[in-house]
């Protein structure tokens, strides 16, 4: 019956390339009021700031001010981690505002080579103790999403989930490649639920306030803010090369990694692993996950202002390539997976392709071709892309690519 079909059709995601709406990706080198940007100073002083403000006001939301203070304490450490090849440190970061506080923990592994190492910094989904079998890793007491497969119930993390996510973190390869790894449980910065009474937001409330204002930050911006506070610590650690910290993230945490890189120019590079809608992927293609769907399922991720684009993506003054462009001229890696159509691999590729002219202003190479590279054939320029076989995930293959690219574009030449 016709009305029912119409109703379901509305909720069926589109996976058919021929049904992608016709749209033009706005030119990155023309300002919103039509002025051409011809050089790096026009980019840095005019266009990049206006793009940043657009995403701040319309997509992720503004951060309402600064912390009153911040402190760091190394609460655990060893120079004999991973059989002696690595240094391990666990750092408590305490954030203070309006007489309230919130703490999170950084788990840091560094090559045991006496050098200040470049590092990958990225959040994990279920606690620092899940990314490794190392029994010294502190188990977070923050709220966690229940997960039967991982033995997580009552929103509480226990040792039952130790090491359940090791496959997503190629620690040995990272260390052997000369890089360190810093990770944080994202739930310590803001629990991933539609509830603004906890996490980072609450610290910034004025008397009587219970929710961020319509144009203020959702969870993604809070996670991005947390990455910057982790970078504040890393700048104080002489075992870290703080000028070479790569913001990394998968999926929703890839969205956060991108926004962190756009908001904070101190990040040396950004890697988006399968970040999809509201991350690397173009919204106007309406392929797989859409703005309306993401706002309905995760009302707390973006600012309330973003809901104006629900089923109205064409109204966006700039699409997600305007987010990726803010990383320029720093190295940027966008990666997709064949079976992750929900994240729209083609939309992720095109978005990265469109930033090429901005990198060219700096004499750097982007992704000149409109045609996507073949599966398993990565393109490594200052802007890099690969699509691999398999599902929405982070694999050894992904890390092999990131490490070899980062050696070339981020690490200091010997
Ligand atoms: C999905 C969501 C995606 C992506 C993913 C994830 O449910 O629709 O945007 O963020 O979760 O984070 O794994």
List, as one string, the DSSP characters of 192-235: SSS-TTSTTGGGG--TT--S--TTB--HHHHHHHHHHHHHHHHT
Give the model confidence (pLDDT) of 384-410 as tens digits.
999 999 999 999 999 999 999 999 999
Query: What is the C-alpha separation between 414 and 409, in angstroms, rounded?
Result: 13
Instruction: State in Å: Cα 41 to ligand 1 middle.
Output: 36
CA distances, 245 to each of 171, 242, 268, 298, 323 (Å)? 16, 6, 5, 29, 19
Which atom of ligand 1 is closest in space to residue 276's alpha carbon? 9
Ligand 1 centre from 252 Cα, in Å? 5
Please pick, among 251, 275, 283, 351, the residue that the annotation labels catalytic. 251
CB neighbours of residue 1 within 10 Å: 6
Contact 98, 203 (CB under 8 A): yes
Residue in the block written with tokens 């707390």: 300
Q: Is 300 a catalytic residue?
A: no
**How far apart (Å, rounded) are the C-alpha atoms in residues 72 and 16?**
50
Please say whether the beta carbons of 90 and 118 come within 8 A. no
pLDDT for 3 equals 44
Query: For ligand 1, which residues put their CB under 6 angstroms from it?
Result: 251-252, 276-277, 289, 294
**Phi/psi of residue 19, each to 5°?**
-100, 5
- 226: its two tokens: 């947390």
Residues 74-100 have a mean pLDDT of: 98
DSSP state of 406: H
- CA-to-CA distance for 190 and 193, rounded, in angstroms? 8
Judged against a pLDDT cut of 70, whether residue 289 lies above it is answered with yes
- Ordered strands of the 383-388 beta sheet: 69-81, 86-97, 100-111, 180-185, 117-124, 240-250, 269-273, 332-337, 383-388, 379-380
- Say what percent of the chain tops pLDDT 70: 97
Task: Tell me the C-alpha distance between 266 and 103, whole Å.
Answer: 22
DSSP state letters, 139-202: PP-S----BGGGTBBTTB--GGGTTTTGGG--HHHHHHTT-EEEEEEHHHHS-SSS-TTSTTGG
Residue nearest to atom 10 of ligand 1 (CA): 252
- Over residues 80-107, the mean pLDDT reads 98
pLDDT reported for residue 12 = 86
Mutate to test the pocket of ligand 1, among 11, 60, 342, 394 (most ligand atoms within 8 A of CB): 342
| Catalytic status, residue 386 | no
Going 45 to 48 to 54 to 55, the CA torsion angle's sign is negative
Contact between 158 and 217 under an 8 Å Cβ cutoff? The reply is no
Is residue 2 very low, low, confident or very high in pLDDT (cuts 50, 70, 90)? very low
pLDDT beyond 80 at 11: no
Q: Are strands 86-97 and 69-81 parallel, antiparallel or unpaired?
A: antiparallel
Q: Please write the tens of the pLDDT for every residue from 334-386.
A: 999 999 999 999 999 999 999 999 999 999 999 999 999 999 999 999 999 99
CB of 249 within 8 A of CB of 272?
yes
């Amino acid at each position: 019956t016709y009305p029912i079909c119409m109703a379901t059709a509305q909720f069926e995601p589109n996976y058919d390339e021929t049904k992608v709406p016709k749209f033009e990706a706005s030119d990155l080198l023309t300002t919103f009021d039509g002025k051409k940007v011809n050089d790096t100073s026009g980019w840095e002083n005019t266009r990049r700031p206006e793009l940043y403000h657009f995403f701040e006001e319309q997509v992720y939301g503004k951060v309402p001010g600064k912390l009153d203070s911040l402190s760091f304490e190394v609460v655990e450490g060893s120079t004999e981690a991973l059989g002696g090849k690595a240094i391990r440190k666990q750092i408590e970061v305490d954030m203070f505002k309006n007489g309230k506080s919130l703490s999170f923990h950084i788990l840091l592994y560094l090559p045991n080579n006496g050098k200040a190492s470049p590092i990958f910094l990225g959040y994990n989904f279920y606690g620092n103790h899940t990314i490794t079998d190392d029994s010294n890793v502190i188990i977070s007491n923050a709220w966690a999403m229940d997960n039967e497969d991982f033995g997580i119930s009552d929103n509480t993390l226990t040792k039952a989930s130790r090491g359940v996510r090791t496959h997503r973190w190629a620690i040995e390869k990272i260390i052997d490649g000369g890089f360190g790894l810093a990770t944080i449980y994202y739930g310590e910065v803001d629990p991933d639920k539609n509830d603004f009474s906890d996490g980072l937001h609450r610290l910034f409330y004025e008397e009587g306030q219970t929710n961020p204002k319509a144009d203020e930050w959702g969870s993604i911006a809070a996670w991005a803010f947390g990455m910057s506070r982790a970078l504040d610590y890393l700048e104080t650690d002489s075992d870290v090369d703080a000028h070479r910290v790569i913001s990394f993230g998968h999926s929703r945490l890839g969205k956060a990694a991108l926004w962190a890189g756009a908001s904070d120019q101190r990040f040396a590079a950004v890697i988006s692993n399968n970040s999809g809608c509201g991350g690397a992927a173009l919204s106007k293609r309406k392929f797989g996950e859409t703005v309306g769907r993401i706002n309905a399922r995760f009302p707390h991720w973006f600012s309330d202002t973003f809901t104006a684009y629900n089923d109205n993506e064409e109204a966006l003054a700039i699409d997600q390539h305007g987010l990726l462009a803010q990383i320029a001229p720093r190295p940027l890696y966008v990666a997709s997976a064949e079976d992750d159509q929900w994240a729209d691999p083609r939309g992720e590729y095109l978005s990265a392709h469109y930033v090429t002219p901005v990198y060219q202003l700096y004499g750097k190479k982007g992704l000149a071709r409109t045609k996507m590279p073949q599966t398993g054939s990565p393109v490594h320029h200052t802007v890099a892309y690969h699509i691999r076989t398999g599902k929405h995930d982070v694999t050894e293959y992904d890390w092999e690519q990131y490490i070899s690219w980062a050696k070339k574009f981020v690490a200091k030449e010997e």
